[in-house]
Amino acid sequence: MIHIIPKNHDKTMRNIRLDLEYDGRNYCGWQWQPNQFTIEQTLKEAIEKLLCNPIKLYSSGRTDSGVHAEQHVAHFMSDTTLKQKNLLGGLNSILPDDIAVYRVLDMPHDWSARYNAIEREYRYTFYCNPYPNVFFKPWTYHVKYPIDIEAMRKAAKYLEGEHDFTSFRSTHCDADNPVRTMLELSFRQDGDLLHFCVRGHAFLRHQVRTFAGTLLEVGLGRLDADAIPGILAAKDRHKAGHTIAAHGLTLVAVRFEGDHERFKDEKRPLRFP
């Protein structure tokens, strides 16, 4: 495969941004892997099929196998003369039913979905009921026993701000620096659903799922909320809770400078849940 990485951007070259959503169940996450279906490969092949040219696809980040996205941002350089709305319609006609592009934009040549992102937001959803619900199953983690949400809120507060999150990242995480700043960890109840919202500039591997697993143990009374500072200080992955199932996790948004102003009049379609 040939990757065309334009070195001298001429005037006809465009930096095309795609905002997409996906149901992650059938994919091994975002990043290309040999012999696996991934979102990156599926999207790249759709773009190349539409443009009849190879492209190199850049992304705002990776997602784990099975994670969903309401907004994942990617971009590629191309000299195509296709209009934005035709790129949008064309890509969706090629993409499978579980991946959809909902926005196409031309960005400055030096704009990067990865480096220009100022904030990422994730939502982990718990379905809290003694009995299963088949319609929420694909998007939620089922919690059969009563949970103490106030204890979970108290524990979550300790994780906000700047910390070394070694205890909350995968032992396979390849980031050099385990320090991250969490802007918000909050809980919102909606009937039987409990949404755990996490916002931060960037995240470590498995960080949100390990947050969710650890806070669930607090909610179930198996771990004290006040144990969190000690777990952070230990810098030991074995001290925190399980990394729970990916299918309850959704990448909700990737935010960029200027996006709020750019999309203020845009009516986003309804999303689940």
Phi and psi of 117, rounded to 5°?
-65, 130
Instruction: Tell me which stretch binds a second copy (CB under 8 A): 44-52, 113-121, 132-140, 201-209.
Output: 132-140
Listing DSSP states for 29-63 in one string gives -SS--TTS--HHHHHHHHHHHHHTS----EES---
* CB burial of residue 111 (10 Å; 0-12, 13-18, 19+): middle
Tokens of 64: 């784990």
Phi and psi of 208, rounded to 5°?
-65, -40
CB–CB of 66/22 below 8 Å? no
Question: Residue 223 Cβ, how far from a second copy at the closest point, in Å?
Answer: 26
Nearest Cα to 15, choosing from 69, 74, 71?
74
- With respect to a second copy, which residue has the nearer C-beta, 159 or 254? 254
Q: Based on the shown chain and the rule CB under 8 A, indicate whether residue 65 belongs to the binding site for a second copy.
A: no
Which of the following is catalytic: 64, 79, 226, 265? 64
Q: Based on the shown chain and the rule CB under 8 A, indicate whether residue 102 belongs to the binding site for a second copy.
A: yes
Q: Based on the shown chain and the rule CB under 8 A, indicate whether residue 98 belongs to the binding site for a second copy.
A: yes
Question: Residue 23 Cβ, how far from a second copy at the closest point, in Å?
Answer: 5
Q: Based on the shown chain and the rule CB under 8 A, indicate whether residue 94 belongs to the binding site for a second copy.
A: no
Q: Based on the shown chain and the rule CB under 8 A, indicate whether residue 40 belongs to the binding site for a second copy.
A: no
Q: Based on the shown chain and the rule CB under 8 A, indicate whether residue 1 belongs to the binding site for a second copy.
A: no
From the list 1, 5, 52, 270, which residue makes contact with a second copy (rule: CB under 8 A)? 270
Cα(1)–Cα(213) distance, rounded to whole angstroms?
A: 40
From the list 14, 18, 22, 75, which residue makes contact with a second copy (rule: CB under 8 A)? 22
- With respect to a second copy, which residue has the nearer C-beta, 27 or 58? 27
Question: Residue 128 Cβ, how far from a second copy at the closest point, in Å?
Answer: 10
64 is catalytic: yes
Residues 133-172 that bind a second copy (CB under 8 A): 133-137, 139
Tokens of 91: 């890509």
CB–CB of 67/205 below 8 Å? no
Give the footprint of a second copy on this chain (CB under 8 A): 21-23, 68, 70, 88, 92, 97-102, 129, 131-137, 139, 190-193, 269-273
